Amino acid sequence: MSEYEELKKYLEKNKKEIKKEIKEIVQIDSPTYPALGTNKVIDYFSKKFKLFEIQSKRLKGTKGTGDHLLVTIKGKQKNKSKILLIGHCDTVFPLQTSDKRPFKIKGKTAFGPGVADMKSSLITCIHVIKFIQEKYLEKVGEIQILFNSDEERGNPSSRTIIEKLAKNTSAGLIIEPARANGSIVSARKGSVIGKLEVNGIAAHSGVEPEKGASAIYEITKKIAEILKLKVKNGNINVTGLMGGDRPNIVAEKAECLIELRASEQSTLNKTTERIKKIVAKKPFVPKTKSTYKIIGQRPAMEFNQKTNVLLKITEKIYEKARMRFSHTSTGGGSDGNYLSAMGVPVLDGLGPIGGSLHTDLEYLQLESIPRRGAVLGTLIIQLSSCSEIK
């Protein structure tokens, strides 16, 4: 029996337990903040790994996030490639969501906060790892697994951990859910989020409007110019526009957020410079002053030659399993962006299949778990002996 078949059989055999565990952790609400919920999820997995006799190390969260969990499996082969798996314990849903909207199964579909993004991925992952530890240790080298607590907020705490691990990694596998059509993710856009602030001069709008300088007029002019920028394989979204106060006062302050996304890092860099130039230009409304500050960014996970090597191996696994293979790029970011920016080839979307992520309709296709888990495990084993990625 092939590794894929063996793994799939094992996951099918344990599907009751897997379902029970998914329910258990979906019922632990774990927004990024406060750290309470994610710490409970980390507690849960610390215990599981101990039970599986797999070593794990708890890494203290910083900047108000929960802790992270780093697991290391030392395979018996010293010269094999080093594989890093990353998943996240946080969800976008606030505390108490699971009281209002508890885990439930309807036919072949499961629902609940974070059921697909990505609590079922985490459970699938630990069973795949357990199986490799028990049966395939002689075929792999070092495997590390990072469960972080802050991905949904752009990794304020775990980014440095990911970048450090990247230095010792041959290939990265991210267990975000697969797309609704089963596609895995081979590229992700990067993003730059900036805040534009305009300071003007307040004045009575009826008595002496000429003494004022409208921050709102200026910011709308700047926004119009910024939105005209052409972004190759990307786009700009302006939001969070605020300014002024009372109708009889010329607006003294205005601000907005500018989110830029693009597939290539060079486009992100170039467009950011263009935005800065527009902001620094002579104001349209005299005596106003504009500033632009970057408040968050995620590098692009670019498709490259090494990604292709990973894809070829994955495609063969699919072929052998008689499954339809497809991969795609997406606009959303993940842990994979940071890993990829460090020069590590990355495949993403390797979790079970789900959809309507980040909404009340989020769902998971329960039947996809054995298949997807078997692909993930086979990929770990085969990449371990791939010399092209070392």
Instruction: Point out which residues bind Zn ion (CB under 5 A).
Output: 117-118, 176
Cβ proximity to Zn ion: between 75 and 336 the closer is 336
CB of 376 to Zn ion, least distance (A): 15
Q: How far apart are CA 44 and CA 39, in angstroms?
A: 9
Cβ proximity to Zn ion: between 154 and 244 the closer is 154
CB of 19 to Zn ion, least distance (A): 20
Cβ proximity to Zn ion: between 31 and 141 the closer is 31
Cβ proximity to Zn ion: between 119 and 221 the closer is 119
Instruction: Give the list of residues 6+ apart from residue 29 with CB closer than 8 angstroms, or none.
Output: 37, 91, 93, 94, 95, 96, 97, 98, 113
CB of 88 to Zn ion, least distance (A): 6
CB of 115 to Zn ion, least distance (A): 12
Cβ proximity to Zn ion: between 29 and 117 the closer is 117
Cβ proximity to Zn ion: between 35 and 122 the closer is 122
Q: How far apart are CA 116 and CA 177, in angstroms?
A: 6
CB of 330 to Zn ion, least distance (A): 11
Give the residue among 236, 321, 300 at the shortest CA–CA distance from 4: 321
Cβ proximity to Zn ion: between 117 and 218 the closer is 117
Cβ proximity to Zn ion: between 218 and 362 the closer is 362
Residue number, nearest CB to Zn ion: 117
> 326 to each of 22, 73, 173, 186, 319, how far by Cα in Å?
27, 30, 16, 10, 11
CB of 358 to Zn ion, least distance (A): 9
Residue 109 token pair: 């579909």
CB of 213 to Zn ion, least distance (A): 44
CB of 335 to Zn ion, least distance (A): 8
